[in-house]
Structure formats: structure tokens, C-alpha cells
Amino acid sequence: MSVLVVGTTALDSIKTPKAENPRLLGGSASHAAVAASFFAPVKLVGIVGKDFPKRYIELYRRHKIDLAGLQIAEGKTFHWSGEYEVNMNNRRTLTTELGVIETFTPHLPEAYKSSPYVLLANIAPALQHHVLDQMRKPKFVVADTMDLWLNIALPDLLRLVKRVDAFVLNDSEARMLTDDDNTVRSLKKIHKLGPKYVIIKKGEHGSILSGPNGFFVAPAFPLDKVVDPTGAGDSFVGGLLGYLASKGGDVEKHLRRAIIHGSATASFCCEGFGLSRTTKTVAKDIAERVTALEKMIKF
């Protein structure tokens, strides 16, 4: 079954202590869509400017991503630049140029509206709502977010959280949203906001799912080299939802294994700048890391 992915389609300029990489393909939807594409057909919703390099369109196409919902508008593509600190865990935004995304109104092609799996990747909650408004009874909706929306669009976000099956956020965002340092209490507080499933991402420490069957504590794949973690969280949710779509049937039954597939997919994202390593990955590589993770947690 197919996955609809909405989010940002961007150009990222990323500085790390070791290198500088201008105008990489980035954005939450790019990372999530490519990650999901290893498992299921993907329909992309986004907007880019006339400056968007043709080679990135070709990259999407190589991953068989349906681009009927990608608008190409007059103006500049959303451009984010950021810098990572030595330990690669903290990053700061240097510049954000919204470009065409500022006036973006996502219109879904007819064929998109019945996608059973919907990933509202990180973008303004108002746009996530707008996409959801156009969907016809999706089977499973996941929303991701970022600290920016907690700061400037909290009412929209809180309304959104009530409308989704699973809400994904990282540990610092969970602390911010719930004003609580304790992960277990945070999870409980977020459930009270609406979603049946809550997933807190903890970077190299893995993630934790809370749902009707209790907690699932998932490892991250241990990496000996983290080149650029930008997009790892988007790859995680993309891989997760792609896997769920590939299985169909009962979500509860497949969700834990889906999280491990998300984790494995995200590990490749971290090993190269932008999407450079992810796009060299094949389904077999991901399956191998899933098997390795399975061995690493067994006792």
C-alpha cells in the first residue's frame, strides 16, 4: 500500500566541524520519502522553486516517488543552513530562507486522497492540517514536528495531535511540550493530548514507543562514524511508515518491527551528508541492520 508524505522539500547547507556542504537535497519530506521508498510506493506533497536542481528531481524519480503533488513555483526553494557542534548532537540554525514555502498551499491530486498511510513530516502544523483535511479516511496517520512549531504554532499543533494516530517528537521537544524532564511522565502527558501512539526519538540512544500495549524501547543502530545526522529523524519516520505500508493489516502487530526498520534506515542517513549515503542504500542493507539490531538486543 502507498504512503503519502507531506513536508519540506529543501536545499540544506550543512556545516560540521569537519566539512561544509552547500545546497544538498534536504527537507523533512525528502528524507522521509526516500526512506519510505525502500519499502512502499510513495506519493510526495511539497513545493520547490524554479532554482531546484533537476538532478534532485531525478533522484526522487530513481526512488519511484510519485511527484504529482510536488509543486514547482516561481521563486526560490526553501533553504536551511545549520552548523553542528563537535559531538554532532547539538546543531544550530544559521539561516532559514522560506522562499516558495511561505505561500505554500498543498493541493492533493485526486489519486493521493485515498492513500491509506499518511506521514505528516515536519512542516507548519497548518499545512499538516490542510493535507489531512483533503484525505479520505486514511488508515494510519503519523505526525512529526520540531521545536519551532512548539514555539510559534502551539495551538495549531495541539489541534493536530488530536487528529493523528501517532505523534513523533524528539526528547527535548517532549520536555518542552510537557514541561517535564521525565520521559515516562512526558509520554503519559502527550497521550492525554490525543494520540494513541507516542514515539519519543532520542538520537543515538534510540527511541521509545508508548501505546496500548505498553512501552517499546528501541535501540539506535550503533555507528562508529556519524557524518551528518540532519534528516535522521525524518528517515526514521519515513522508514517506519514505509514498512507499515508494505505490511498492511493490523498496525499494532507490525509497529515495533516498523520502528526498528525506521531506526536502521536512519542509521544510513547519518553516515553521509544530506541524502548521499541513504541513496546508495538498498533494501538488503537495511534488512541486514535490522537483523544485527535483533541480535544486539537479545538476551
CB atoms within 10 A of CB 89: 11
Residues 6+ apart with CB under 8 A from 202: 170, 171, 208, 220
Three-state secondary structure call for residue 274: coil
| Choice from 102, 148, 215, 283 touching a copy of itself (CB under 8 A) | 215
Out of 15, 159, 257, 277, the only residue in the binding site for a copy of itself (CB under 8 A) is: 257
Q: How far is the CB of 83 from a copy of itself (least distance, A)?
A: 16
Identify the bridge partners of residue 62 per DSSP, sorted by sequence position.
none
- Interface residue with a copy of itself, options 225, 250, 282, 284 (CB under 8 A): 225
Q: What share of the chain is helix, strand, coil (3-state, %, to 5)?
A: 40, 25, 35
Which segment (106-114, 120-128, 218-226, 267-275) binds a copy of itself by CB under 8 A? Answer: 218-226
Question: Over the range 159-180, which residues count as b (16 or more CB within 10 Å of their CB) and which as e?
Answer: bbbebbbbbbbbbebbbbbbeb
Which of 83, 97, 156, 204 binds a copy of itself (CB under 8 A)? It is 204
Q: Does 109 bind a copy of itself (CB under 8 A)?
A: no
Q: Which is nearer to a copy of itself, 111 or 297 (CB)?
A: 297
Enumerate residues 6+ apart whose C-beta is below 8 A from 277.
Answer: 227, 268, 269, 270, 271
Quote the DSSP letter at residue 112: G
Q: For residue 217, state whether it binds a copy of itself (rule: CB under 8 A).
A: yes
Pairing of strands 20-26, 42-49: unpaired
One-letter identity of residue 192: K
Q: How far is the CB of 66 from a copy of itself (least distance, A)?
A: 30
Which candidate, 83, 159, 120, places its Cα nearest to that of 6? 120
Q: Please, which of residues 16-55 interact with a copy of itself by CB under 8 A? A: none
In the complex, the smallest distance separating the C-beta of residue 254 from a copy of itself, rounded to whole angstroms, is: 9
Residues 111-150 that bind a copy of itself (CB under 8 A): none
* Nearer Cβ to a copy of itself (61/185): 185
Task: Tell me if 166 contacts a copy of itself by CB under 8 A.
Answer: no
Closest CA to 258 of 290, 222, 292: 290
- Sole binder of a copy of itself in the list 86, 92, 212, 250 (CB under 8 A): 86
Of the pair 119, 290, the CB lying nearest a copy of itself is at 290
Count Cβ atoms below 10 Å from residue 254 Cβ, excluding itself.
Answer: 18
Site stretch for a copy of itself (CB under 8 A), options 123-131, 221-229, 244-252, 268-276? 221-229
In the complex with a copy of itself, which residue's Cβ is closer, 87 or 151?
87
Report the interface residues with a copy of itself, using CB under 8 A: 86-88, 181-185, 188, 202, 204-206, 208, 214-219, 222-226, 256-257, 259-260, 293-299
